[in-house]
Structure 1
Amino acid sequence: MRTVHALATAAAATLLTTTAAAAPAPPPPPHPLLTDAAVETAVARLDATVTAMMSRTGVPGVSVAVVHNDKVIHLKGFGVRKTGEPATVGPDTVFQVASLSKPISSTVVAGVLKDPAQWDDHVPLPGFALKDPWVTDHVTTADLFSHRSGLPDHAGDLLEDLGYDRTYILDHLRLEPLTPFRASYAYTNFGLTAAAEAIARAHGVSWQKLADDTLFKPAGMTRTSTEFSAFAHAPDHAATHVKNPDGTWSPRFVRDPDAQAPAGGVSSTARDMARWMRLQLSGGTLDGKRIIPADTLARTHIPEIVSQPVNATGSSSFYGLGWNVGYDGAGRVRLSHSGAFELGANTNVTMLPLERLGIVVLTNGAPVGLADAVAFDFFDFAEHGKVTTDWLGVLGGLYAQMDEAGRSRTDYAHPPATAKPAKADSAYTGTYDNPYYGKATVTANPDGSGLTLSLGPAPQRYPLTHYDGDTFSFETRGELAVGRTGATFTDGALRIEYLDAGHLGTFARR
Structure 2
Amino acid sequence: MPHKVRRRGIAAAAGFALAAGAVAAAPSPSPGGFDVARALDTLDAQVQEGMRRTGVPGVSVAVVHDDKVVYLKGFGVRSTEAPGGKVGPDTVFQLASVSKPVASTVLAQALGADGFDAPLKGVTLKDPWVSAHVTAADLLSHRSGLPDHAGDLLEDLGYDQSYILSHLRYEPLSPFRTSYAYTNFGFTAAAEAAAKAKGVPWSRLSEDLLYAPAGMNSTSSRFSDYQNAADRALTHVKTEDGTWKPRHVRNADAQTAAGGVSSNARDMARWLRLQLNGGKIDGRQVVNAEGLAETHVPHSISQPPPEPGAQPGYYGLGWNVRYDDQGRLRLSHSGAFALGTNTSVTLVPAEKLAIAVLTNGAPTGLPDTIALNFFDTAEHGKPSRDWLPVVAKSYEEQLGEGRSETDYAKPPADPQPARPDSAYTGTYTNPYYGRATVTGTSGGGLVLRLGPAPQNYPLTHYSGDTFSFETAGENAIGRTGVTFTDGRMRVEYLDANGLGTFEKAGRGSGPEAGPQ
TM-score band w.r.t. shorter chain? over 0.9
The 4+ residue runs of structure 1 with deviation greater than 3 A are 32-37, 311-314
Letter in 2 for 1:160: E
Determine whether 1:480 maps to 2:478. no
How far apart are residue 397 of structure 1 and its match?
1.4
Structure 2 equivalent of residue 102 of structure 1: 100
Structure 2 equivalent of residue 432 of structure 1: 428
Distance 2:416 2:3 in 1: 39
Of all paired residues, the percent bearing the same amino acid is 63
Letter in 2 for 1:134: W
Determine whether 1:90 maps to 2:88. yes
Go from structure 1 to structure 2 and tell me whether the alpha carbon gap of 1:5 and 1:44 turns closer, same or farther (over 3 Å shift): closer
How far apart are residue 37 of structure 1 and its match?
7.2
Once superposed, what is the RMSD of the aligned Cα atoms? 1.6
Determine whether 1:469 maps to 2:464. yes
Structure 2 equivalent of residue 19 of structure 1: none
Contact kept? 1:240, 1:365, Cα under 8 Å: yes
Structure 1 equivalent of residue 383 of structure 2: 387
Which deviations, in whole Å up to 9, do the C-alpha atoms of 1:262-297 show, x marking residues without a partner? 110000000000000000000100011110111111
Local SS of the residue matching 2:120: coil
Contact kept? 2:203, 2:222, Cα under 8 Å: yes
Letter in 2 for 1:223: S
The one of 396, 401, 405 equivalent to 1:405 is 401
Is there any run of 5+ residues in structure 1 with no aligned partner, and where?
10-31
How far apart are residue 419 of structure 1 and its match?
1.1
How far apart are residue 390 of structure 1 and its match?
0.8
The one of 162, 183, 186 equivalent to 1:188 is 183
Contact kept? 1:311, 1:317, Cα under 8 Å: no
How far apart are residue 405 of structure 1 and its match?
2.9
Distance 1:151 1:404 in 2: 21
Go from structure 1 to structure 2 and tell me whether the alpha carbon gap of 1:509 and 1:5 turns closer, same or farther (over 3 Å shift): farther
Go from structure 1 to structure 2 and tell me whether the alpha carbon gap of 1:457 and 1:34 turns closer, same or farther (over 3 Å shift): farther
How far apart are residue 117 of structure 1 and its match?
1.7
Structure 2 equivalent of residue 338 of structure 1: 334
Local SS of the residue matching 2:416: coil
Go from structure 1 to structure 2 and tell me whether the alpha carbon gap of 1:34 and 1:378 turns closer, same or farther (over 3 Å shift): farther
The one of 50, 62, 66 equivalent to 2:63 is 66
Distance 1:382 1:193 in 2: 36
Letter in 2 for 1:268: S
Letter in 2 for 1:294: A
Of residues 313-322 and 269-278 in structure 1, the stretch that sits farther from structure 2 once superposed is 313-322
Go from structure 1 to structure 2 and tell me whether the alpha carbon gap of 1:451 and 1:160 turns closer, same or farther (over 3 Å shift): same
Local SS of the residue matching 1:41: helix
Distance 2:117 2:74 in 1: 40
Distance 1:331 1:219 in 2: 30
The one of 32, 48, 73 equivalent to 1:76 is 73
The one of 277, 285, 288 equivalent to 2:272 is 277
How far apart are residue 35 of structure 1 and its match?
5.9
Determine whether 1:291 maps to 2:286. yes
Local SS of the residue matching 2:3: helix
Contact kept? 2:34, 2:378, Cα under 8 Å: no
How many residue pairs get matched? 481
Structure 2 equivalent of residue 207 of structure 1: 202
The one of 488, 497, 504 equivalent to 1:493 is 488
Contact kept? 1:277, 1:358, Cα under 8 Å: yes
How far apart are residue 63 of structure 1 and its match?
0.4
Superposition pairs of residues 229-378 of structure 1, within 5 angstroms:
229-311=224-306, 314-378=310-374
TM norm structure 1 = 0.92
Which deviations, in whole Å up to 9, do the C-alpha atoms of 1:443-477 show, x marking residues without a partner? 001122x1000000011000000111111010001
Contact kept? 2:5, 2:338, Cα under 8 Å: no
Distance 2:222 2:401 in 1: 32
